[in-house]
Each structure stands twice: as structure tokens, then as C-alpha cells.
Structure 1
Amino acid sequence: MRLSNLLWAVAMVVPMSNAAWAQAWPTRPINWIVPFPPGGTTDVVARIVADRLGRELGQPVTVDNKAGAGGSIGTMQLMRATADGYTIGMATVSTHAVNPACNPKLGYDPLTDFVPVSNLARTANVLTVNNAFPAKTYAEFISLVKAGPGKYSYASTGHCGGMHMMGEMFKVFTRTAIVHIPYRGAGPALNDLLGGQVQIMFDNLPSSIGHIKAGSIRALAVASEQRIPGMSGVPTFKELRLPEVNEPAWYGVVVPARTPAAVVQRLSEALRKVLLVPEVRTKLQDSGAEPVGNSPEAFAVEISAELEKMRRVVKQQQIRFDQ
């Protein structure tokens, strides 16, 4: 399977000894490409980690937002960067699984054009409805949508985005027919959910949690390993016997292929140290993210598994990038 390619990429090095790279790197500032706009979850996670990472490495780490095309523009820029450890990038479910699964002409291969470094954090996803929706619980919700195929619509943050895929997986495994309405980001989608133009939404929890806590929308289920503090009445999809939909979003660091193995290892170790700092952990948790911090090999396995899952969803639901 393609996982072998990704594990091969993790091990690739340029012609310089590991010892030399370990001693030399870093000697100048590091540029961290975040392929989404400022203020979103990806950007928030990067900025929480960046300052402390710079202190750990002894060089400034600057967050560089390169948004566009669902994260593809910034990811392409990262792919083309010199593989010397001075340009790193944020990888997400969208950039390394959904976009490649949806768009065969994307221009990069998530398994061979990058080396995974570490998964930094996971965030729960959430199924919500507006307050006018008659269902108060998940059981009532599923009864309604099954009784009225095509009657209800759900918002996502964009066509061929992570939340679009979550909605389609929900439809597959619940055998329901709800209509997808794509938006350009969480903000516009939430506005229409609040206004009643759309009844249902799949979203990253950090975008919706303020509205949920304010009581302006209702959360019916979350994609999370455990119930969310402060939302203890909301079950996980796993509890609802939908383990396939229970996967949270993730946010990790990758570097261009052929980055020296010693640099990858040192960066991975530095990130894992940063994620153990209580202040960093608290900031991530307050933003709705749960710190992870794993090895390059473990992150490679996660990326490959997510990509294969998204390919199955795209094929089964006959989703095309140019629809």
C-alpha cells in the first residue's frame, strides 16, 4: 500500500551526515507555512506552538499564512521549498487526505512529497442544528432525517473539505439522505445556520463552541474519544455506534521530502517537548484542541490511513472536485 512510500519518505536524507546536520541546525529563523487564513483552528494551533518552539530551538519560528484552495496553495509552496529544515508546514485532514482524494490534478502527493514530523493536536468535530429544528436529541434527529429523505440540508465549510467528508460519511453509515450546502468557511455557514437558511451543520468544534455554549445552536453529537468538558450531555459518535464518523480533525507538522533525517528527528523531539509544557497544553485545550505529539513514523501511519478513508468516501459518494 502507499504507506510504504510515506515511511520511505520519512527516512530520506540529503547527502550530508546526520551528525553534521544535528550540530548545524538551526542557525537562522524558521518559516512555518500555515495554508489557511489567520484566526482559524490551524492558525491558532500553530501560533500557540511557534513561540515556544522557537525558544526550544534557539531560533525564531515565524508563522506564514498562505491560504487558498482549501489549503492546497500553501501546501504546494511547502513542497517546492528547499529541504533544509528552514521551511516547515502545517498538515491537516484537508491538505493531506481530503484534497488529494477529491482532486486527482492537485499537484502534490501527500505520501511522497513530504516527510511527517509530528501530529501536534486533535480537535473534536460536531453535529449541530439550529434552535428551530424540531429534534432535541440525536435519536429524535435521526428519526426525522430518515423519515424525510432530501428534506433537510447540512452546511459545511466548503466542497471537498473535511466537514463535507464528515457529512458524507454520516450519510453512508446512517443510510440517510441530507443535502449538502457548501459555504466558504465556518463563519458564513454558521450565519446561515443561525438564520435558519440551513438546518444542520458539521463543523470543527472550536468554530461552533461559542454558539453552542450561548445556546444559539444545539450540539447533538461530537467526534471525539471522550465527551467534551462543559458538554457532558452530548454523546460521541462512538457511543452512538458510528465509530467511522468519530474521527477528530488533526493538525501536524510536515517538511519537504528529502529533508535530512537528523533535522526531522530534532524537530520532532522539540515539538514533543513543547507539547509537554503546561502553558502550551492549557492554551491548546482552551482553544478546543487536545495536544498529541507523536513520532514521525506514527504520524505517517495516521496520514496514510486518513487518505485511504477519504478515497473510499469520495469513490462511494461519487464526489468530484469540479462539481
Structure 2
Amino acid sequence: MFSCRSRAYDPLRADRGAGLRRRIRDATRRLRMPFTTTRRTALKVLAGAALTTLHVRPFAQTKYPARPVQFVVPFPAGGATDIIGRVVAQALSTELGQPFVVENKAGAAGMLGVGSVARAPADGYTLVLGNISTHAISPALQPSIPYDAATQFEPLGMTGRIANVLVVRPSLGVRSVAELIDHARTNPDKLSYGSSGAGGTPHMSAELFKLRTETRMAHIPYKGGGPMLTDLLGGHVDLAFGNMPEFLPHIREGSLVPLGVTSAQRSSDLPEVPTIAEAGVQDYEVTSWFGLFAPAGLPGAIRDQLAGAIAQSQRSEAVTRTFAERGVLVDPLVGADFADYVAAQRRFWADFIKQSGIQADA
């Protein structure tokens, strides 16, 4: 039996349909005859009718990607997220055979660019490089945010991690995490720590450290990592948590003293520096992670293709070499595993922010 979906009445289509049904009916009658020329003709009619129905409702699959893909980086050019984004975009272009065009849409701590992608079509041609701030911390910290990180995005894959490192000014006279904790407990509220701004991983790393060690230190937020680093080197703040690539040159020249790294493993750039957990601070781990997201509703085939391309790109020589030079850790977490990780991160930071009472302007 043939059926068709309800649609507006079209006389021309109705005439074609009636004619087609007559041809099929007549051909079916002839099939009951002995195998003669008439019966062969009937078979041809049925075959032609089948092809006609296919032409009435054509279906064609277009290979993805069939055109350039917009790759949104929601931060200014030159920063860690931008550098990672450009490396990954080039690798995906190589893997999938179409340009992944980086577009910097900075503003509101990354929320502006991320929000624009949340409202984009879910067709695989608009992606965003999110991170721990845009998809885990800000949703819990910011009172108003122009997107729902939990429901408006399809997590595709992690593109890298960067560990933070705890450093102090040399004149403070502290040379280990244990000594810093003793100093802070002996002098509550006297030590100051700088950060690149409220809500970033340097700020969260310090606040988690304070909570786990039961110490009190004053937070001095800056508008960016550059001004904060200038004051730290000038001795105007006592300590800071920051991304490894930013602090590494100053550590090597002796103008900053590293006490511990925030990741679960030691850094290959500073193998002699323990993790903060190793140094005695239990349940402590923070890394700045970065990942690729698409608008929610992305077709499963495109989602799986992008996840596979991300995993493959993480093994490419260009990515591993560039990331190693910049202190970025490769972590090929894709698909459902990455989605579960992001959800767990949202829960962790929401609970922590509620427990610690941190405010967006702290």
C-alpha cells in the first residue's frame, strides 16, 4: 500500500499521482498473466513506478563539512585560549578537508562569544572553544549569563589542559607550600595574592587553596594577567596562582619562586616542583581545560565525526609539538566522556562557590 504525508492540494501533483496509481494497478493485473511480452512490460512499468516515487521525494546526503566552519574563540587574540584554538583549528582543517576559520569574539569574560554560538544553527558549521571558566565556573559565579551551559551545548572533545603554578615573591622568604601555610596561619589576612580577574582559574585556585588549608589571604584582582604579573614582580603582592607558560620564564630567571603545581601530576617543565596535593593539601587539583562545543541538537553523525577528528588531531605531530612548547597537556577526552567530565566540573565548581561564598566581584 502506498501512502503520502498530508500536504496542500496541488492539481498537477494529484493528476500525476492518479496516473501513477492507474499504471501500477494495470501492471499488477498483467503480472497474473503467463510470462509473455505483456508481463515483461508490466515489470518494467512497476520498476519505472518505483523510480518515479523516489524522484517525487528525493533524499541526498551531503558530506560534512561541505563548506568552511566558523571556529569561535571567545577571548582576545594572543592569549592561551586563542593559541590553543588556532592550533586545533588548523589540525581539524587538515583532518576534515575544509577550513576551520578562527573568529575572536571577546567580551564579558568569554560569555559574549559563547552566547553567540548558543543561538547559532546546530548544523556543525559554528563551533566554540570553551574552557573551564565559560562552561563550569561562570555559570555558577555570574548572576546573569547569556546562555545555559548545561542545555544549550553539545560537548565534542577536550583540546588541552594547562596547569597553574603557585609562586611567591623571593623576598617573602617562603620556599615550600608548608612554609606558606604556616606563614599565612601566623599572619591571617596579612598576605595578599593577585589574580588576572575574578572567576578565572588563578582566582579559583587560590580560593580552593584557602579553603583546603584553612588560611586567610587578601585577594587583589587585576584586569588581566599582565598587570598582575607586573605588580607581583615588583613586590606589590605576595603570591599568585597563574598559568604555567606565563610564569615559566620568570621562574627560570629566579624572579619568582615556584612552590607547587595545581595539576594531579608534576609538570615536565618543572619536574622538581611538587604538586600541591603532594605537598600535603588534600583533595586539591585545578587545571585550566579547554574544549570544543557545538550548539545543542547537533546531528549524531556530525557530532561523532567531529569527536573523532578531535581525537585524531591530538595525536598529530603539529599539535603535540606546539602544545609541549607552551606547557599544554594533551588529553584526548571526547564524546560522552568529555560531556560527563564537563558536567562533573559544573557540579564541583557550583558546590565549591556556594560553600566558599565567593562573589563575582570578589
**What TM-score do the two structures reach when normalised by structure 1?**
0.90
Paired letter, 2:310: L
Query: For 2:360, what is the secondary structure of its paired residue?
Result: coil
Does the Cα contact within 8 Å between 1:168 and 1:313 map onto a contact in 2?
A: no
Aligned partner of 1:102 among 130, 141, 149: 141
Equivalent residues, number: 304
SS in structure 1 at match of 2:172: coil
Ranked by relative contact order (alpha carbons within 8 Å, sequence separation 6 or more), the top structure is 1
Separation in structure 2 between the aligned mates of residue 197 and residue 54 of structure 1, nearest angstrom: 45
Asked if structure 1 preserves the Cα contact closer than 8 Å seen for 2:140 and 2:349, the reply is yes
- Which residues in structure 2 correspond to 1:167-246 (within 5 Å)? 167-246=206-285
Structure 1, 35-44 or 233-242: larger mean CA deviation: 233-242
Shift of 1:322: 5.0
Q: Deviations over 1:60-118 (max 9, x none)?
A: 11111111111111110111111111111111110011110101321211110100000
CA pair 283-322 structure 1, distance change in 2 beyond 3 A? closer
Residue of 299, 324, 335 corresponding to 1:260: 299
Q: Distance in 2 between matches of 1:269 and 1:200?
A: 41
Residue 130 of structure 2, aligned match among 79, 83, 91? 91
1:278 aligns with one of 297, 317, 328: 317
1:149 to 188, 195, 216: 188
1:321 aligns with 2:339: no
Quote the Cα distance in structure 2 between the aligned partners of 1:127 and 1:320: 22
Give the letter aligned to residue 121 of structure 1.
G
Q: 1:312 is matched with which residue? A: 351
Equivalence for 2:326: 287
1:8 match: none
What's the RMSD between the two structures over aligned residues? 1.6
**What's the offset of the Cα at 1:166?**
1.4
Taking the aligned partners of 1:239 and 1:54, their CA distance within structure 2 comes to 40
Segments of structure 2 that go 5 or more residues without pairing to the other structure are: 1-58
* 4+ long deviations beyond 6 Å: none
Identity value in percent: 39
Partner Cα separation in structure 2 for residue 227 and residue 103 of structure 1: 32
User: Is contact 1:89–1:254 with CA below 8 Å preserved after alignment?
Assistant: yes
Q: Secondary structure of 1:176's match?
A: coil
Equivalence map 1:127-138=2 (5 Å) = 127-138=166-177
- AA aligned to 1:64 is E
Greater mean deviation of Cα atoms: 265-274 or 304-313? 304-313
Contact 1:32 1:61 in 2 (8 A): yes
Partner of 1:37: 76
Structure 2 CA distance, aligned partners of 1:160 and 1:278?
34
**TM-score after normalising by structure 2:** 0.81
Which amino acid in 2 is paired with 1:29?
P
**Matched AA of 2:264:** E
Unpaired stretches in structure 1, ≥5 consecutive residues: 1-18
Deviation at 1:175? Answer: 0.2
